[in-house]
A and B are shown apart, each in its own frame.
Chain A
Amino acid sequence: QKVSVEVLDHLEHLALVDFRDSEGVERLEKAIQFADQLHEVNTDGVEPMDSVLEDRCLYLREDDVTEGNCTKELLENAREKVEEYFVAPPGNIPLPKLEERDTFLQGS
């Protein structure tokens, strides 16, 4: 069961992690093969289950502010910050296309 390079590339974009080498791709293909066993089960008329607690009401609390004001603590763990902002490199720049990227998939 081979996965097309387009899908692999798409996955790398979605996940923002890369298939480091052929082993990574093989791992995915084996995972898909493993998951295909699901189709042996007859699930006609069965509703998907999101949560084992579906028969209960989820707890919702009042929309009141009960905590916060912890800017200092939250910023403590960030590497790059300016005043009370997290600093990110320029956005809206798409990841390089497959041909231009330094990824193993180029060879496929």
Chain B
Amino acid sequence: QVSVALKEGRVTPTELCQQCLSLIKSTKFLNAYITVAEETALKQAEASEERYKRGQPLGVLDGIPVAVKDNFNTAGIETTCASNMLRGYISPYNATVVQKLLDQGAVLLGKTNLDEFAMGSGSTDGVFGPVRNPWSYSRQYKEKSVPKSHSEDKESNWVITGGSSGGSAAAVSSFTCFAALGSDTGGSTRNPAAHCGVVGLKPTYGLISRHGLIPLVNSMDVPGILTRCVDDAAVVLGSLAGHDPKDSTTIQDNFKPFELPYLTDVSKLSIGIPKEYHAPELSGEILALWSKAADLFRNAGAKVVEVSLPHTRYSIVCYHVLCTAEVASNMARFDGLEYGHRSGMNESTESMYAATRREGFNDVVRGRILSGNYFLLKQNYEKYFVKAQKVRRLIANDFVKVFQSGVDVLLTPTTLSDAVPYKEFIKEDNRTRSAQNDILTQAANMAGLPAINVPTALSERGLPIGLQFIGRSFQEQQLLTVAKWFEKQVQFPVIQLEEVKRHDHDVFQHEKSASFS
């Protein structure tokens, strides 16, 4: 919708950019952004405006403000991964996906906050502090929360965004940008999408280039897309997908961007409901919603079947071993010599490395490096690492079997509950929380499958709940088509934020959440 508005001249890219920048300032308390690239964004907006004046926009994304998670390299803009290790690091290059967005004329507003090095499920463990869920300040949440006492500070009851791409999710959810990039290794895009009420797409592994995305787990990482509606996600996907010679793990098949049809007949669809996703910790509310969704499909004529993915419960353990092992390797590059933080210790190379890493990494990162090294020790290699790789194959095969049996798309919950208050969340450590929260999203990363979170309804506390669709490898078109149909059925409400109302602009005033496609 905004793209049409730009083409018709009802709003200009610079106006749009300035609106977003000023909204970012008034929502600073969310802590969604680490770096705001005000000057460069305005320049990009001006260039876009010129193009529109000449009637030559680069495409649908021309002039659209976007944000990027701070673990993607952005030339000339600080990239920190929310870690002391990379504070002050100005990337000399753009990650491929960032370059693609810029080539389409998108306006890069800034870098969003995350858990340090994308390790975590709350966006609470970065050096710039935790990200606050915009819904904490929504009328919907405030109406449902009962103040325990007059003196209880409303401020202290805010809920988390989920993670690790919490900043990106919060940015999209609070209307400060129209799309954001996240990364997804164990659910890091879908989890915050669910908690913040936005669409979070994890593409098939190999579809989108990882060049420039600071790696966590090379065999599972993918750039993730966060938007306010499924159509927008398809548009962004269209501009990002495709082979990249700089990332040899991208497939060479030709990718054709697609538009999503609106399904009128779902009777040919087969939806699978994996019974193992009925985890004991799943909240009653979400269970009921999941059931309602299945009924929705059934009543519309689709075939809804229960399926089994027997190794689901091992995916977290498997992830734990493979992730820490790859992390141990990927974090080895941070030694202070070529970039990033460098300790003042100068006795010897090794002691300088050790001191630099001691100072630069937080407990979570160090913990994973040490665990990873343990699992990779000669005496443990077969027992843990290779064993985990074997279990990984079993998990991936579970999905293959289910899809072979005729199921088109799987429907599962995305999270175990709605967003918890920060005070609650920090009572347990990062690893425990990750193990608890990644349970429903992790297996898709293990198998490399595309998955998407679609905001479904508000919980009793007035917070978003999302449901997840998992599709076949490289069948994003089918996956998104189903997601779009579902989105239209559930009519998820728009967040009612005072800050956004104050920035009233006809672009934001729509009965549906403002989209750009």
Contact = CB atoms under 8 A, between A and B. Distances in A.
B347 interface: yes
Contacts, number: 183
A47 interface: yes
Interface string B376-394: 0100000110111111111
Contacts of A77: 89-90, 92, 338-340
Contacts of A41: 311, 314, 387, 390-391, 394
B384 A38 contact: yes
A58 B347 contact: no
Contacts of B318: 38
Interface string A84-103: 00101111011110000000
A53 interface: yes
Given A17-B370, A41-B391, A48-B390, A86 B338 contact: yes
A82 interface: no
A34 to B, nearest CB: 6
Contacts of A14: 373, 377
Interface in B295-338: 311, 314, 317-318, 320-321, 324, 328, 335-338
Question: In the complex, which of the residues A10, A43, A58 has the most CB atoms of chain B within 10 Å of its own CB atom?
Answer: A43
Contacts of A37: 314, 317
Interface of B is mostly: helix
A84 to B, nearest CB: 13
A14 to B, nearest CB: 5
Given A14-B373, A89-B347, A89-B349, A30 B431 contact: yes
A56 interface: yes
Contacts of A16: 335, 350, 353-354, 357
A83 interface: no
A27 B448 CA distance: 29
A17 B361 contact: yes
Contact of A31 (B335, B338, B347, B431): B431
Nearest to B324: A31
B367 A28 contact: yes
Interface stretch (B243-251, B255-263, B475-483): B243-251
B317 A53 contact: no
B106 interface: no
A93 B345 CA distance: 14
Given A27-B367, A77-B92, A78-B339, A38 B391 contact: yes
B370 A51 contact: no
B299 to A, nearest CB: 35
A4 B351 CA distance: 23
A51 B349 contact: no
A39 interface: yes
Contacts of A15: 328, 369-370, 373
B420 to A, nearest CB: 22
A46 B352 CA distance: 43
B251 A48 contact: no
A80 B249 CA distance: 34
Interface string A11-46: 110111111100110011011101101111101001
B206 A53 contact: yes
Interface string B391-413: 11110100000000000000000
Contact of B206 (A43, A52, A74, A78): A52
B390 A43 contact: yes
B348 interface: yes
Interface in B418-457: 429, 431, 435, 447-448
Nearest to B218: A51
A12 B336 CA distance: 18
A37 B320 CA distance: 11
Given A31-B320, A77-B90, A90-B348, A24 B369 contact: no
B366 interface: yes
B497 to A, nearest CB: 38
B154 interface: no
Question: In the complex, which of the residues B354, B387, B447 has the most CB atoms of chain A within 10 Å of its own CB atom?
Answer: B354
Contacts of A51: 219, 249
A61 B357 CA distance: 35
A38 B100 CA distance: 41
A90 B347 CA distance: 7
B19 interface: no
Given A35-B375, A41-B394, A59 B250 contact: yes
Given A31-B371, A50-B219, A59-B245, A88 B320 contact: no
A63 interface: no
Nearest to A23: B363
B1 interface: no
B170 to A, nearest CB: 29
A49 interface: yes
Contact of A88 (B352, B363, B369, B383): B352
Contacts of A70: 92
18 contacts: A15-B373, A16-B357, A17-B366, A30-B431, A35-B384, A38-B317, A38-B321, A38-B384, A38-B391, A39-B383, A40-B314, A48-B386, A49-B392, A52-B219, A76-B92, A77-B89, A90-B348, A91-B349
Interface of B: 89-90, 92-93, 205-206, 219, 243, 245, 248-252, 311, 314, 317-318, 320-321, 324, 328, 335-340, 342, 345-354, 357-358, 361, 363, 366-367, 369-371, 373-375, 377, 383-384, 386-394, 396, 429, 431, 435, 447-448, 473
